[in-house]
Amino acid sequence: MGDDEHAASPSEQQRDTQPRPPARSKDHRIGRYDWEKARGPIHAFGESKNLVAWAGDPRCQVRAETLRTRLAVGWKPEDAIARPKHEQAVLEYTHSGRTLTLRGWADQSGIKYHTLYSRIRSYGMTFEEALDKGADGPHFAIAVTAFGKTQPLYRWGVDPRAAVTATTIRKRILAGWNPQQAITEPPDIRSTLDSGIPYDAFGKRMSLPAWARLSGIPSEVINQRINGHSLTLEAALHSLGWTPPQHTPAATDRTTVPLGQLQIGDLLVSIDTERQIATVDRPSAAGPTALPVLRSPSAATRPTAPAIKTAAPRAHRR
């Protein structure tokens, strides 16, 4: 075999003469990021703190990771700490009459901020298109039915009626909340929902807000019914037309009573505020404690006083 057989082909010779790109480092950030600048004491505003302490300082306008990156690329410490992120002022979007920053919409919908940002900035989507594309994972894509409408959970997070984020709505529904209350209940009430005096009804013992979540009736309405008519919780829920799905109401008789004489178990049908009377469905087994009906009894049905028996006079003995 001659030496010519080992000679490079013309195409190989052409490749050898072309300049080759420099070998890329495994970490392409080397040379651009100097992470040592974000370690140890950081001097700014005449003070010296570590990165975590500066991130918690009231003057810091960004998160710790952003502060770390700014320092690593060479920002002056004062600027890295005090300068707000430009996205907060620029990336604002209006949806359903509500205006939030992009990060705010990310929190509301459960869609990651970088996902929304990439869809809008890298792929040229409008905000509505980026939102319509949905969440990254399955948790915020589950269907939820409320107010007669079924839509993905992330959509309820950006609904005008939503008082909390999609994450909170999801946690509430998993905890057994009524979907409508899970969406509309303000967050400042959420921390006290399971506190307070427990109430017994239908064989269960829960706080009043927990009963409100289960029944879908606002706790204020239930509380007003309990206090306004001196009812137990079970009677109040029954009077509002709610019983657990597995609960079968007892047979009732319809009657009319004064408002001040409502009994436990009465189901309100109507109220006459002028006459101060109520029409109720009262359990048939009310027994001797049942109150008289406010009707004028006829003479035929009016009870008569029982005859008084008197002893016969004794004969006088002679």
pLDDT score recorded for residue 43: 92
pLDDT score recorded for residue 205: 77
15-68 pLDDT, tens digit per residue, is: 555 555 545 444 444 456 788 888 889 999 999 999 999 998 888 988 888 899
pLDDT score recorded for residue 189: 44
**Burial category of 130 from C-beta neighbours within 10 Å (exposed 0-12, middle 13-18, buried 19 and up):** buried
Average pLDDT, the chain: 74
Residue (of 253, 279, 260) closest to 268 by Cα position: 279
Instruction: Please count the residues of the chain.
Output: 318
Distance CA 267, CA 119 (A): 55
Distance CA 115, CA 136 (A): 8
Angle at alpha carbon of residue 137, lines to 133 and 142, rounded to 5°: 80
* Residue 63, phi-psi category: left (phi > 0), alpha (psi -120 to 50), beta (remainder): beta
202-223 pLDDT, tens digit per residue, is: 888 777 777 887 888 887 788 8
Residue 244 binned pLDDT confidence (cut-offs 50, 70, 90): confident
249-264 pLDDT, tens digit per residue, is: 556 677 888 877 877 6
Residue 156 binned pLDDT confidence (cut-offs 50, 70, 90): very high
pLDDT at 120 over 70: yes
pTM of the model: 0.37
Residue 162 binned pLDDT confidence (cut-offs 50, 70, 90): very high
For 186-236, the DSSP string reads: -HHHHTTTT-S-EEEETTEEEEHHHHHHHHTS-HHHHHHHHHHHT--HHHH
